[in-house]
Amino acid sequence: MKALFLCDIKGNIERVYQSCMEPFSESERAVYTKADLLADPAAFSDVEVIFSTWGMPVLTEEEIARCLPNLKCLFYGAGTVQKFVRPFLRRGVKVFSAWAANAVPVAEYTVAEIILANKGYFLTHRLYHQSGKAVAKKAFEKCRGNYGETVGIIGAGMIGKLVIQMLKQYRLKVLVFDPFLSDEKAAELGVEKCELPELFERAFVVSNHLANNAQTKGMLTYDHFRRMRENAVFINTGRGAQVVEDDLVRILRERADLTALLDVTDPEPPVEGHPFYTLANCLLTPHIAGSAGDEVRRMGEYMLREYQAYLAGKPCRFEVTEAMLATMA
CA dist 295 and 284 (Å) reads: 22
CA dist 157 and 180 (Å) reads: 9
Is 158 within 8 Å of 102 (Cβ atoms)? no
CA dist 88 and 92 (Å) reads: 7
Choice among 129, 209, 274, 287 that is catalytic: 287
Q: Residue 50: CA atoms inside 13 Å, Cβ hemisphere, count?
A: 30
Active site residue 129: no
CA dist 119 and 259 (Å) reads: 13
Is 187 within 8 Å of 100 (Cβ atoms)? no
Question: Which residues are annotated as catalytic?
Answer: 287
